[in-house]
Amino acid sequence: MYLFTSESVSAGHPDKCADIIADTIVDRLLELDPKARVATEVFISGKHIVIGGEVRTDIDIGEGFYRLCAIDALSAIGYPEIGFDESQTLYPDATDIRVLVSKQSPDISIGVDREGGEIGAGDQGMMIGFATDETPTLMPAALEYARKIRDALYAHALEHPDRFGVDIKTQVTIDYGTKENFDANRPRAIRKIVAAVPHAAHLDIEEARIIVKGIILETLENDPLFDEEICEFFIDGTGRYVNHSPLADSGTTGRKIVADTYGAYAPVGGGAQSSKDYTKVDRSGLYAARWLARHIVAAGLAKKAIVELAYVIGHAKPLSVNVDTMGTALTSLKDEELSEKIAERFPLTPAWITERFGLDSPSETTFLYADIAARGQVGYPDYPWEKLDKLAWFEGLKR
């Protein structure tokens, strides 16, 4: 066997709570002021929430704005669950919220805000895009299954708050058989599934495990990689999982960047996405890099690809564009040639990326950053950066 494992967490996980609060702030500020500059960090421990960071906006907002964002975000996540009391889960209205948000340094805006609408990168660093033909979404298999199971369990918890909580964690181990199969994107079977789902104290642990396993079996029914006879299940491994939410484990913005991106199948970039506006290339650069990698694989140029973009604060164009098809190229086009052609064809500036994906105008009808924080930064077809809208150009590179 050659095994690889990825994990995923639901919106109710304490780290995700922090991400979602931070991105609710981003959503609401950009809806009020599309030119707002936002970098707010959130820390949650017990019933205490600290919101810090920097914001620049022409809108007059006070501490009440941030407090309302936090309470609304936690309520939307699914807290409180009616099967749990205030000693077992977080009640949004019972939280103690401290706001420590300051104005963004004017030194940053010197390089970021340009005449003519151009935007200099709001930070420096490298961003990673990745795609693989292992799954229809061009995401790696273990992470795709961990998310699929997570989504099913989270939906059930929302429907049955008297029995299950929303602080859920899943983990899937894929057997590739050999390292060669792993390198060639040939998963063989799902070997191990881990699920942690909070259960109400009145629900017997064995009954809870039966329900959770049943949801997993239904989710994976008829899947060619799943065989119940050879798969090991680990459900609520300690034998009791009643106390949960930030009452049981603190949460911090940006602590789930591996689960948010590629599940450790590929490197991660220089920083997290949540809490930041579109000028921060940790966010916009990641989306562009994933868009490029997805096109490379979808166009049949390679079976998998890593795209690295590097930026420096105050400059619009990336310092470098690097493509690595990881030995899976399907044409004679060399990686360095592909890198050069992409850099020549696409500006990849923050302004270009923002306009292409509508990053300055989150809304209920397009996308909300808080929703992306809850599900994952890449890999869902409804995200603008998952659209294959330049496929013909990439296909034209085949030779």
pLDDT of residue 117: 58
In whole angstroms, what is the distance from residue 138 CA to residue 269 CA? 19
Q: Please count the helices (runs of H) and the strands (runs of E) in the chain.
A: 12, 11
What are the structure tokens assigned to 345, written together? 């064809």
- Per residue in 213-238, pLDDT (tens digit) is 999 999 999 999 999 999 999 999 99
- Cβ atoms of 130 and 305 closer than 8 Å: yes
The answer to whether residues 21 and 262 touch, using CB atoms and an 8 Å cutoff, is no
CB 230 within 8 A of CB 189: yes
- Whether the per-residue pLDDT at 111 is higher than 50: the answer is no
pLDDT tens-digit series, residues 178-209:
999 999 999 999 999 999 999 999 999 999 99
pLDDT in tens, 339-386: 999 999 999 999 999 999 999 999 999 999 999 999 999 999 999 999
Nearest to 285 by CA among 302, 297, 273, 274: 273
3-state DSSP assignment of residue 51:
strand
Decide if 187 contacts 134 (C-beta within 8 A): yes
In this prediction, residue 399 carries a pLDDT of 74
Retrieve residue 253's tokens. Answer: 């913005």
Helix crossing, 141-159 with 205-219: angle to 10°? 130
pLDDT band, very low/low/confident/very high, at 99 (cuts 50, 70, 90): very high
Q: What is the pLDDT of residue 104?
A: 67
The structure tokens listed for 174 are 């894929």
Nearest-5° Cα angle at 255, 248 to 22:
90
pLDDT of residue 121 exceeding 80:
no
For residues 106 and 259, which has the higher predicted lDDT (pLDDT)?
A: 259
CA-CA-CA-CA torsion for 10, 16, 19, 20, nearest 10 degrees?
50
Output 190 or 111, whichever has higher pLDDT. Answer: 190
pLDDT at 168: 98
Closest CA to 165 of 256, 45, 42, 248: 248
The string of pLDDT tens digits covering residues 241-259 is 999 999 999 999 999 999 9
Distances (CA, A) of 111 to 53, 119, 124, 266: 19, 8, 12, 31
Pairing mode, strands 48-56 and 96-103? parallel
Q: What angle do CA 371, 258, 312 make, to 5 degrees?
A: 90
Of 101-110, 153-162, 228-237, 384-393, the one with minimum mean pLDDT is 101-110
Question: In the chain, pLDDT over 70 holds for what percent of residues?
Answer: 95
Question: If pLDDT is split at 50, 70 and 90, which confidence band does 313 have?
Answer: confident
pLDDT tens digits for 49-61?
999 999 999 888 9
52 or 316, higher pLDDT: 52
Task: Note the pLDDT of residue 241.
Answer: 96
User: Are 55 and 38 within 8 A, CB to CB?
Assistant: yes
Max CA distance (Å), the chain = 64
Q: How far, in Å, CA of 196 to CA of 82, rounded?
A: 19
How much is the average pLDDT of 153-173? 98
- pLDDT score for 112: 55
pLDDT for 110 equals: 46
**What is the residue-averaged pLDDT of the chain?**
94
Confidence at residue 338, expressed as pLDDT on a 0 to 100 scale = 97
